[in-house]
Structure formats: C-alpha cells, structure tokens
Amino acid sequence: MNLGEKSLSQKEGQTAVHVARDTIDTYLNTGNAINELDIDLPEIFNEDRGIFVTLYKKGALRGCIGHPYADSPLKNAIVDSAISAAIKDPRFPPVTIDEMEDITVEVTVLTKPELIDVSPKELPSSITIGKHGLIVKSGYRQGLLLPQVAPENDFDEVEFLSHTCIKAGLPHDAWITGAEVYRFQGQIFSEKTPSGQVVEKEYKK
C-alpha cells in the first residue's frame, strides 16, 4: 500500500480480521455490537480508513459491505462493516450463527480513491490488475469493486472497468462515455480457514 497511508503490519491485519469475526459472532449470539471503545487496539485502529469486510462460505461470496472512504476510525468501520456484511447485504439472506463455522472472514483496508484523469482510451493502461480497485461514478450512481475481484474472476482491464460500471447500475461502457473512474489500492487480510490462520493476500499479474 502506498499513496501516503501507513500499511498495517501482519499482526495488525490479523487483529483486524479477529475483530471482524468477534463482532459478527457477538452480534449473532446476543444482538449487540461489540463496543469498540472497550477493545485494546493498536493506534492505527484510531485512524480514519476506508475498509470492506468480505465473507466467503466454502469459497463462495456470502456478504461484502464496507466504507469506500475514510469516514470513520478503522475500528469503528470494521465493527459496522462486519455486522453489515453479515446481515445487511441485500444480495443474501442474513448469516446465521451456525453458518459461521463454514465462513472465512476477510478485511480489505483501502487507500484514498484517486480520480484517473485521463482520456477513456487511456483508462485500461492506467489500471493494474491485482493492485487497483475501481469506483465508477455517474450522477447519483456509484459502483465499487475491490482489487481482488479482477484476478479472482480473471478479468482484464476492460472487463474490470465494464463490470464496475454494471455494479453501479450503468451501461457496461459508461467508462467510455463520460463516467468518472477512480482507482484505489487495498491491503487484504483473510482467514485461510474459518477461524484459522490469517494471511495477507497479494496478487501478481
């Protein structure tokens, strides 16, 4: 990660994933959120960061919600996003506590999105698959895809742009016809198995 933000250490990344899982487990068991003020966390968790929490059940997406922009401290954003990914993703029914033994938790910490201020024909060459996530905006519509989406789905740069437009509810070629395109990077920490070892994911093109 660059663009001026301090990266999380491996231990801090593990902590972020553990907080996300503990948040979900606590909420599903009690109906209450963890009080992030009561958690003893490294100082970086007090910094405003954009983050997403992603849940996978036996390898299939089970929920993904987050804060695209650095609008709250990291610890607050993790707690909020973890609960939302578990019970508020409109694409899926709410996660049940019994499912959690089959679910792996992933936390992606984002850099600040930057407008890619080039002509449409130069947009694909301004994106690095596996490194950049995308946001496409046009009017009140906005869509975001995390950096891991492109390599995990074998998208090239044009396909990545097109799918981000579709995520925004726009035509697939909106990136050619005037939509704004932003890129960002993500530091990805993920459980290898449910409640198991947490590793930092990196994608090489």
Q: What pLDDT does 34 receive?
A: 76
Q: Which CATH class is domain 10-110+187-201?
A: alpha beta
Residue 95 has pLDDT above 60, yes or no: yes
CATH homologous superfamily for 114-184?
Hypothetical protein ph0010; domain 2 (3.30.1490.150)
Domain with CATH 3.30.1490.150 in the chain: 114-184
The confidence band for 3, taking pLDDT boundaries of 50, 70 and 90, is very low
What is the pLDDT averaged over residues 170-199?
Answer: 96
More confident residue, 2 or 92: 92
The number of beta carbons lying within 10 Å of the beta carbon of residue 154 is 8
**Locate tokens 């990914």: which residue?**
85
CA–CA gap between residue 91 and residue 144 (Å, rounded): 15
Share of the chain above pLDDT 90, in %: 87
Contact between 181 and 116 (Cβ < 8 Å): yes
DSSP letter for 150, please.
H
Q: Which residues in the chain are classed under CATH 3.30.700.20?
A: 10-110+187-201
Report pLDDT digits (tens) over 97-137: 999 999 999 999 999 999 999 999 999 999 999 999 999 99
